[in-house]
Amino acid sequence: MLVNRQLLLPYAAPYLAYVAIASLLGELLAPEVNYILRIVVVVLLLAWARGWYCALVGPRAPAISIVVGLAAGLVGAVLWIGLLTPFVHQGQTAPWSSASFVLRLAAAGLLVPVFEELLMRGFIFRLALQWDQARRGGDRQALQTALDERSVNAVRPGEWSWPAIVISTAVFTSGHVLQEWPAAIAFGLLMSWLWIVRKDLLSCIVAHAVTNVSLAGYVMVSGGWHLW
């Protein structure tokens, strides 16, 4: 089993590639082309790294995790809209074209939940947990131990600690713009709760997907493009 330092690239590469294409090529490519490129690159990276990832299912029934994820995703959408609305101004973002909307919806609903949950709850949460366990055990080089002598893939389903929740939520939040931070904090806590209660990543991925798709649907129906 590979140690965490070796697993860092497989877990982080899809996320970093998605963000890099969005930020570095955002002004150079049409939105449609940019999203197609993101989708293709991330799919290829996920396929390349799939053998190194932890299991998405846990000891509890996957069907129940899907149902719980669906419900939690709707809660997540309400939290996101409610906590983001006070910090953005209506009309500050123009409506998307039909093609770019569909491509963004596909990315947000099918890809982003997979690679973000793999990185945030699959790797960072568990790495922070293993660091905290080593630290509490008196290890003066706890981070090095967690990186070089532990594997996140060996963490027991649902295992957690408060530092793991705080650190993973903080990292997740830092990947969002400032006005999204209250919503991102709430959503990160919700995903941590799902991991602890359902003991799998499947429920987190389903919830993340439902939140993203529900937000897109709300934006399209309400015209609140400033929320997306």
Whole-number pLDDT of residue 62: 98
Q: Which of 120, 130, 127 is nearest to 190 (CA)?
A: 120
Q: Distances in Å between the alpha carbon of 163 and those of 97, 124, 169, 208, 211?
A: 42, 11, 10, 22, 25
Phi-psi region of 199 (alpha: psi -120 to 50; beta: other; left: phi over 0): left
41's tokens = 């690159």
The predicted structure's pLDDT at residue 91: 62
Other beta carbons less than 10 A from residue 49's beta carbon:
18
Q: Which amino acid is at 210?
A: V
User: What are the helix (H) ranges across 2-151?
Assistant: 4-24, 31-49, 62-84, 98-106, 112-117, 125-136, 142-148
CB–CB of 15/119 below 8 Å? yes
**What pLDDT is attached to residue 211?**
98
Backbone angles phi, psi at 78, to 5 degrees: -65, -45
The number of residues making up the chain comes to 228
Please report how the helices 162-174 and 181-198 are oriented relative to each other, as an axis angle in degrees rounded to 10: 140
Cα 142–chain centre separation: 25
Across the chain, which has 228 residues, the per-10-residue mean pLDDT values are 96 98 90 96 98 97 98 98 92 73 96 98 98 97 98 98 98 97 98 98 98 96 87
pLDDT of residue 94: 59
CA 29 distance to own-chain centroid:
25
Half-sphere exposure of 37 (CA within 13 A, CB side): 17
What are the tokens at 36? Answer: 């197609």
Reported as half-sphere exposure (CB side, CA atoms, 13 A), residue 94 has a value of 5
Sign of CA dihedral 21, 100, 216, 71: negative
Q: What pLDDT, on a 0 to 100 scale, did the predictor assign at position 89? A: 81
Per-residue pLDDT at 93: 60
pLDDT reported for residue 95: 64
pTM for the whole thing?
A: 0.96
pLDDT number for residue 225 = 86
